[in-house]
Amino acid sequence: MQKLVLLRHGQSVWNQENRFTGWTDVDLSEQGRQEATHAGQLLRQHGYGFDIGFTSVLKRAIKTLDIALEEMDLLWIPVQKSWRLNERFYGALQGLNKAETSAKYGAEQVLRWRRDPHELPPALTRDDPRFPGHEARYQHLTARELPLTENLRQTMARVLPFWTEQIMSAIRSNQRVLVCAHGNSLRALVQYIDHLTDTEVAALNIPTGVPLVYELDDDLNRLRHYYLE
Ligand SMILES: O=C(O)[C@@H](CO)OP(=O)(O)O
């Protein structure tokens, strides 16, 4: 039996301000730092150790992983960062306040944008300052990989190659893995691992900063999963 731990980053400043975040590189809030510290303490108290960490290229996830590893005195382990673990790209909604957007477009539409796995938020244009193609960290991405908007299906499609090629292969070589990512990139991964239907994943919300443990059999099928308390 193998264990895998998934961790959503601690609360960010824009989670706190109730703004659509996506690929915007906002920092952790003070509460988010505390959540990350607590996650690391919980993992340490339950005797967890890790050989490798995986995270996105966004600082709220990178810092959460760093803080949690520091609590376990594991800052020295290798960490691999990939844009494929980034939050779902929220298109032209990025930066908008969620309550104001509900008042403007209606709560039902906003809920579809947030949770319907097939619904595409309004797209950005390439000349928008928020387009990731302007950023050095995404220069190696192809034009097709650079998103203008993204639904959960598309998030899953870019997360899965990283899951199979990097994360699964680390688990298969008996490395103990900690993945620190985002609400929606983790929802996409959990939908895949748990074979959730679209209705089930629409209802799934992963809390910030709470370690989610997966026990896997030798073929890496899920045996059970639970949050650490
Ligand atoms: O704003 C975002 O990027 C995400 C995660 O905070 O929000 P939501 O939960 O609405 O998909």
Nearest atom, ligand 1, residue 182 CA? 5
Active-site annotation holder among 9, 35, 71, 150 = 9
Other CB atoms within a 10 A radius of the CB of residue 219 amount to 6
Please tell me the predicted confidence (pLDDT) of residue 156. Answer: 98
Q: Is 182 a catalytic residue?
A: no
ipTM: 0.96
* CB of 101 sitting under 6 A from ligand 1: no
Instruction: List the chain pLDDT tens, one digit each, 229 residues.
Output: 999 999 999 999 999 999 999 999 999 999 999 999 999 999 999 999 999 999 999 999 999 999 999 999 999 999 999 999 999 999 999 999 999 999 999 999 999 999 999 999 999 999 999 999 999 999 999 999 999 999 999 999 999 999 999 999 999 999 999 999 999 999 999 999 999 999 999 999 999 999 999 999 988 999 999 999 9
Burial class (CB in 10 A: 0-12, 13-18, 19+), 21: buried
Instruction: Quickly list DSSP for the chain.
Output: -EEEEEEEPPPBHHHHTTB--TT--PPBPHHHHHHHHHHHHHHHHTT---SEEEE-SSHHHHHHHHHHHHHTT-TTS-EEE-GGGSPPP-GGGTT-BHHHHHHHH-HHHHHHHHH-TTPPPPPP-TTSTT-GGGSGGGTTS-TTTS-SS--HHHHHHHHHHHIIIIIHHHHHTT--EEEEE-HHHHHHHHHHHHT--HHHHHT--PPTT--EEEEE-TT--EEEEEE--
* CB of 183 sitting under 6 A from ligand 1: yes
Residue-range domains of the chain with CATH: 2-227 (3.40.50.1240)
Active-site annotation holder among 35, 71, 87, 150 = 87
* CB of 113 sitting under 6 A from ligand 1: no
Of all protein residues, the one whose alpha carbon is nearest to atom 2 of ligand 1 is 21
Please tell me the predicted confidence (pLDDT) of residue 153. Answer: 98
The reply to whether the predicted model has a pTM over 0.90 is: yes
How many whole angstroms from 150 Cα to the centroid of ligand 1? 12
Please tell me the predicted confidence (pLDDT) of residue 55. Answer: 99
* CB of 20 sitting under 6 A from ligand 1: yes
Q: Is 9 a catalytic residue?
A: yes
24 near 7, Cβ under 8 Å?
Answer: no
How many whole angstroms from 179 Cα to the centroid of ligand 1? 18
* CB of 151 sitting under 6 A from ligand 1: no
